[in-house]
Amino acid sequence: MPAFFDKMTGMDTRLARTVPSLLIVALAGLASINVSGDPGLGSREKEAAIQVTPTLLIDDFSDEQAASVLGTE
Amino acid sequence: MGGVSDATLSLETIEGRRCLRLRGRVSLENNGGFIQVALPLAQDGRPLDASEFKGVRAWVRGNGETYHIHLRTAQTGLPWQYFWAAIDSTAGWRPVDLPFDGFKPENLQAKLDARGLERIAVVAIGEEFEADVAVSRLEFYR
């Protein structure tokens, strides 16, 4: 019984050590993702936005009333 | 002042494209000599900063004559000052790219500064002719 208890205690101890270690590794991984992702993400989004919108529309005359002014001389 | 050119302006759909069409007769009589349609670029009284773009792209069709795109900027204080570039019109729609550094100054000595755009115009100018030009899309391109 004591031997079994010791074995169980030992297992509990190992488990108790392993779980926090895994959590630390996981959190460290998340932290490293965030740390490496934050500064670059903004630039990538900007670059993507520039590529998606390569032009700036002045007018496509789809409205019935254009803000145009006729002039003659 | 006092020129006798005449023009009409209409919003139409030509070959499936909504467009602004300028038609008329350019006359040099009485010191005249142009017809134009102008569009404001300034927003809330502030000039438009288009310096991130390379130039103006216009989808154009017309009667084969040459037309001008005029840009007025914060640099062009007087009515006879502007920057211009020429476009040749064809019977079918086509995009024409006009880089900012290709615009020529008129009645001023300066290089176009695209940080202060105030107005853009499609103009028939310089000689007597029947004008018929349509623009279906105006945009700045990178």
CB contact under 8 A, B41 and A58: yes
DSSP states of chain B as a string? -----EEEEEEEEETTEEEEEEEEEE--GGG--EEEEEEE--BTTBPB--TTS-EEEEEEEESS-EEEEEEEETT--STT-EEEEEEE--SS-EEEEEEGGGPEEESS-----GGGEEEEEEEEESS-EEEEEEEEEEEEE-
Domains within chain B, CATH numbers bracketed: 6-141 (2.60.120.430)
Q: How many CB pairs under 8 A join A and B?
A: 84
- In this predicted complex, what is the ipTM? 0.92
Closest residue to A72, CB basis, from B5, B39, B139: B5
**pLDDT tens string B130-139:** 999 999 999 9
If pLDDT is split at 50, 70 and 90, which confidence band does A1 have? very low
CB contact under 8 A, A68 and B38: yes
**pLDDT tens string A7-61:** 555 555 554 555 555 555 555 554 444 444 444 445 555 555 555 569 999 999 9
- Mean of pLDDT values over B22-45: 95
